């Protein structure tokens, strides 16, 4: 019973997030600060009428679970691995294709 209650605590933490903040300061000390162009692009993705909510879920998960490599920069493989469900939901929304990327990029998300 104890294991089941511990698992129940983990699920909401992974599933719920703040929606992400485009002005987020990295937890990793050697990540470069974001440029204004990067912040604008992030806000454009979050505000996209078709898939912005999915991007916000992914961004929030990425920020909540950000892992740093020994070099002090973000380990995107680990972090994206922890947020694979949210990432795939965003990509699926943007491409309009279940399980694949459209040849034309991300038409619903303006890419």
User: pLDDT of 50-102, one tens digit each?
Assistant: 889 999 999 999 999 999 999 999 999 999 999 999 999 998 888 876 545 55
- 37 in a structural domain: no
Number of domains into which the chain is organized: 1
In this prediction the pTM is 0.74
For residue 23, give every residue at least 6 positions away whose Cβ sits within 8 Å of its Cβ, in sequence order, or none. 34, 39
Give the integer Cα–Cα distance in Å for 27 and 97: 33
96, two tokens? 């309009």
pLDDT of 11: 33
Question: Under a CB-based contact definition with an 8 Å cutoff, are residues 45 and 62 in contact?
Answer: no
Q: Which structural domain, as residue segments, surrounds residue 83?
A: 53-111
- 85 in a structural domain: yes
- 71 in a structural domain: yes
- 57 in a structural domain: yes
């Amino acid at each position: 019973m104890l294991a089941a209650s511990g698992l129940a605590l983990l699920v909401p933490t992974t599933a719920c997030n703040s929606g992400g903040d485009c002005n987020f300061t990295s937890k990793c000390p050697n990540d470069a600060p974001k440029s204004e162009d990067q912040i604008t692009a992030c806000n454009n993705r979050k505000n996209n009428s078709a898939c912005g909510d999915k991007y916000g879920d992914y961004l929030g998960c990425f920020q909540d679970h950000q892992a740093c490599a020994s070099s002090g920069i973000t380990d995107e493989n680990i972090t994206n691995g922890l947020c694979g469900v949210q990432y795939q939901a965003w990509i699926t929304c943007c491409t309009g294709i279940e399980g694949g990327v459209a040849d034309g990029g991300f038409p619903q998300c303006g890419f």
